[in-house]
Structures are given as C-alpha cells and as structure tokens.
Amino acid sequence: MAQKTPRLFYLLLTVLFVLNLLQAAFTELIYDEAYYWYYAQNMDWGYFDHPSMVALLIKISSLFFTGELGVRFMSCLLSVGIYLIVWEIIDHPKKREYVIHFFLLLFSMTLMNAYGFFTLPDTPLLFFTALFLLLYKRFLNNPNIYISLALGVTMAALMYSKYHAVLVILFVFLSNFKLVFNWKAWLAVGIALVCYVPHFLWLMEYDFVSIKYHLFERPNQAYSFEKFTLGYLVNLVAIFGLLFYWVYYALVTDKRKDQFSKALRYLTYGVLIFFFVSSFNRRVQTQWIIVISIPMAIIAFRHLLENEKSRKWMFRMAMISAILLIYARAWLIYQPLLPILYEAHGNKNWVMDLKSKAGDVPVVFENSYRQAPMYEFYAGKPSFSLNNFMYRKNQYSIDGSEDRVRGKDVLYVTKYRNAGDVQFKHPDSSVFYGSFLKDFQSYRKLQCLVEKENENEPWELKIHNPYEFDVPLENLNFAVAYSNAYKQVKEQVSLEVTSIDEQQHILKSKDTVFYSFELPKSKKMEKPSYFRIGLANKGLLTGLQGMPTKIE
C-alpha cells in the first residue's frame, strides 16, 4: 500500500488527524459523550442502551490523555483509519490522480465528519463497517482461514459497537447466497458468536434489560407523516449534505456485476428500505442510517472517477461543504460565530456554577441521565440520576451508582419545582432548583411483578428486593403510572395495596413480599392502555419498577 499511495494522501491524512485532535481537545463534551464516559468509569460487557465498544474506546483514550481528548482520542484514530480503509477498498486505476477529491468527498459527509472527533457508538460502527467490507472483498478474492478469523472478530466488533450492526452483516451475506455452502464463511460466523458470548452472558445476567427496553418498553407516538416518514427522507439528504444528489445518483446508476459491488448495493438498499419501513412505526434517528456512508463513499468515488461532468460538480459542492463544515467546527469551539446554541456550549460554566453551590456533597439530578455524567465529568464529584415515572430507564437504573449517594447528604436538583435552597441557569435558559437533603434514600432497583389469574380477582403484586440490605416497607409509597397505546406515561395515581402478611414490615435482602390491589380509576385518561407500578421512599416521586402491563 505504501508504494502505491501518493505522498499527498498521507499529507492530507495527517492534516485531517491534527484537525480532529484539535477539535476534540477544544470542543466541550456533548451530553451523549458524557453519558458514555460514565459507562467507561465501570467497564463491563454491556450497558443499558448499547454494547460496550464505545466505553472501551473512551477507556483506551483516557490512558493517553485527560479531559475531552481523554474521551475522543480513539475516535480521531478510527477516523483516519476509515479514510485509509476506504482508499484501500477502491482499486480503481485512476484514484491516485484524485486524492483531493477523495478527501473532500468523505469530509463533506456530515455525520462522518462529526464522528471524526465525537465519541459515540456510531464512531466504531463506521470503522468496523469499513474494515468488514475490506475483509469481505479479500475473502471473495482469496478465502482462507486467516481472513475468516479476521472477519469473525470484525463482525463481533461491529455488534459490540451497536445492535443494528447486524443489518450490515445480514445484507452483505444476503448478497451472496453461495456463502451458505462455504465452510470458511461459517467459520467466520462461529468466531463472531464466540467473541460475542460475554455480551450474551451479560444480557442474561441483567435479564435482557437492553432488549426489553428497545423492543417492549420504549415509548412511541402516533404516526405522523411529517415527523416519521418525511423526517426520514430529510435525514437521507442530511447525512450527505450538498452532495446528496450525486451520491444517490451514483447509487442508482451503479451497474457493476462483480460480487463485491453487489454487496455494496445490497447493504445500502437494505438499510434504506429497512428504516423506510420502520418510519411508518416510529421516528428514525439520523444516526441509525449512518452505516450507508461507507458503501456510498465507495460507490460515489468510483462514479466520480468515471464521470467527468459529475466530478466537476462534486468537487465544487464538496469545496463549499468543506468550508461550511470547517466554519461549523469553529462554531462548536466558539459559540458567538453563530446565533445558535448547541449542547457542546456552556457546559463547563453551568457545572462550575452548580459545584460552587453544592460544595462537596454529591448531586442527585431528577430525570437527567444526561446532566448527571456531565456534572461528574467537569466537576470531578459523584452524581446520580434518579428517574421517576415520567422518565425512561437508563444505565443509572441498573448499575451501582445509587450506592454512592444512599444514606448521604445530597443536593437534589430538579427543573420541575420553583423553589429550593439554590438555583442555577442552564445555557438553554432553563432554571434548575436544588434542595439539600439529609440521609438520602432511594430504592429504584426493587422489582415489581404483577399478575392476575382471572378478571374477577384483584391484581397480585410481588416486590423483590435485589439489594444486599433490608428495605423498610413502611417508608415506601406506591403508585400506578398510566400510559397510552404508545406507552407514553400520561398520569400517576396513588395506589393502595393490601399486604398478604400484615405483620411484615421489613423486606429482607433477596426476599419477596406479596400484595394485592385494585387498579384505581384514572383521573385524566378515559381508557388507559398500559399501567406500571412504581415505588419510592416517602418524599420522592415514584419510579417505574414494573414492566408495562396491558389493560384489557
């Protein structure tokens, strides 16, 4: 590769790497990055929202640097790796003449540009998608055990990056049915499954909490063409920016017959169609379709090499895009360049303001798995996100972070109240109030299971205590949260329960207590579709310890 690649390629690659390093070092974290940084403080084989690759990247970055670069260094490395791999995949004889065009094309892809320095699960997803395609191309040319081994490890790395990476693997394999009869292909699959065993075991240990949330618990909303399907189509334009026309034109006019080109088209069309169909059920986020950036970059650059007219227009649009994106990058560092506030702006300021008022006590944020890790990152002090019935579950719901604040004096921060001991203003102008609480107690890990044998009998409620300590039952409040057909919580109503054993006042560690109850009448909803049981220590809003239960 070194003998064939022009020096200009390595020069531009170095410039890109330095640019991304500077961007990573001087741009404040966005909230998702802070959340994934929080992952990395306790390494595991899985987390509530995603598998563990993003946490691993941050952990490795922190070995070399501190601060923001200690979160993003590996993303900068993977970004230049993507450019190298895509360049290697393209074996067109004219590519050496258009190195600048190649860099401008990839740099102009908006999300690929952003993931050159932001550390999100999509960052490794893009890198391993590119690596998977390179290895697959080599497998087609020379299938051997070593390529199978590399393919297997890469497929596992894809799945450790993000769950929907399975689409990448699935659509590439669907493009070549002969792989069904190729034992070396099955060897790759077997190696991938073996490498993924630790995550399977993690899922079993946590009762498949991630799968349950994404498939069954995640709130949705009524179908809206503008928000769902039209929004999805707008996203298809957004990921390629000003080059979208030529990129998609390259796709629809690509007629190459070789097996690898077929795989590129299957992967791209497969992902596009899958999420188009999904858009009729839920809103499709832009980053969900980011994987098509890799095959589309390959297809678009080959089109650029072979079509002079397209090449001229793509170069012009890419130059404009690059200028706009560089300006946007500068704005990420220095907000006054644009009259728009982004979540990377002002986080150090609000954290330092709150830290000065909280002192050394831990800060508990109500319903904010985003602000809790941001505070902990910049303040260097422990924090916790306490979720109630109006908020979704997250990593704070399943890990041991609750133990860091239980029994301690804390500052309880919320934006849902209009008074407190302290207050601070968020950069988005939201005002938050904090109240100092002594001997803070919460029991969000208590597990509630409801059953009903027949329609004429009351509901049965089982409460299991997974903690290593006993829980006083008289300190608990019970409530039921009613949801609509889309599992959006609309109301909470106090719940009266009847204990099977009225003499039982303590729920011992690892033990289960039994209650019965009748569902109270909803005051706001004519006909709720789901309900969930919630518990809380007195003085706090109840959580969502139960699963959504259909109301017949």
The DSSP code sequence of 454-485 is STTSPEEEEEE--SSS-EEGGGEEEEEEEE-T
Strand stretches in 233-306, DSSP E: none
Lowest mean pLDDT among 1-5, 221-225, 365-369, 481-485: 1-5
Q: Which of 287-296, 452-461, 462-471 has the lowest mean pLDDT?
A: 452-461
Q: In terms of pTM, does the model score above 0.85?
A: yes
* 214 or 173, greater pLDDT: 173
Residue 546: DSSP 8-state: B
Average pLDDT over residues 425-433: 89
The span from the CA of 62 to the CA of 67, in Å, is 8
> Band of the pLDDT at 2, cuts 50, 70, 90?
very low
Note the pLDDT tens digit of each residue in 33-87. 999 999 999 999 999 999 999 999 999 999 999 999 999 999 999 999 999 999 9
Query: Tens of pLDDT along 464-511?
Result: 999 999 999 988 889 999 999 888 889 989 999 998 877 788 999 999
Measured between alpha carbons, how far is 442 from 366 in angstroms, rounded to an integer?
12
**Quick one: pLDDT at residue 133?**
98
CA pseudo-torsion sign 439, 440, 441, 445:
negative
Average pLDDT over residues 300-320: 96
Provide, rounded to the nearest whole percent, the portion of the chain with pLDDT above 70.
Answer: 99
Residue 316 banded pLDDT, cuts 50, 70, 90 = very high
Report residue 453's pLDDT band, with 50, 70 and 90 as the boundaries.
confident
DSSP 281: T
Give the whole-angstrom CA distance, residue 346 versus residue 340. Answer: 12
Q: Which helix (H) or strand (E) holds 249?
A: helix 244-253
pLDDT digits (tens, 9 = 90+) for 190-205: 999 999 999 999 999 9
* Higher per-residue confidence, 540 vs 52: 52
Residue 375 token pair = 């505070």
Domains in the chain, start-ordered, CATH in brackets? 7-336 (no CATH), 347-437 (no CATH), 447-550 (2.60.40)
Taking the C-alpha atoms of residue 229 and residue 416, their distance in angstroms, rounded to an integer, is 33
pLDDT of residue 456 exceeding 90, the answer is no
Q: What pLDDT, on the 0 to 100 scale, is given for residue 222?
A: 82
The pLDDT, as a whole number, for residue 1 is 41
Cα torsion 294, 299, 304, 310: sign: negative
For tokens 């890790």, what's the residue?
373
Mean pLDDT of 329-336: 96
Provide the 8-state DSSP code for 46: B
The per-residue pLDDT for range 398-408, each reduced to its tens digit, is 998 999 999 99
How much is the average pLDDT of 338-364?
A: 94
Residue 366 pLDDT exceeds 50: yes
Annotate 117-134 with DSSP letters as a single string. Answer: TS--THHHHHHHHHHHHH
pLDDT category at 7 given cuts 50, 70, 90 is very high
Q: What does the pLDDT average to over 246-254?
A: 97
Q: Look at residue 409 and tell me whether its pLDDT is greater than 80.
A: yes
pLDDT value at residue 3: 47
Matching residue, tokens 């959340």:
35
Residues 187 and 152 sit within 8 Å (Cβ to Cβ): yes
Q: How confident is the model at residue 218 (pLDDT cuts 50, 70, 90)?
A: confident
CA distance 356 to 349: 11
Cα gap 136→529, rounded to integer Å: 47
- 156 pLDDT above the threshold of 50: yes
For residue range 510-534, what is the model confidence (pLDDT) as tens digits? Answer: 999 999 999 999 988 988 999 999 9
Residue 189: the pLDDT is: 96
Mean pLDDT (the chain) is: 93
pLDDT (tens digit, 9 = 90+) per residue, 115-140? 999 999 999 999 999 999 999 999 99
pLDDT at 57: 98
Instruction: Identify the helix (H) or strand (E) that includes residue 383.
Output: strand 383-386
Residue with tokens 């938050």: 432
Phi-psi region of 207 (alpha: psi -120 to 50; beta: other; left: phi over 0): left
Q: Which helix (H) or strand (E) holds 436?
A: strand 431-437
Whole-number CA gyration radius for the chain: 26
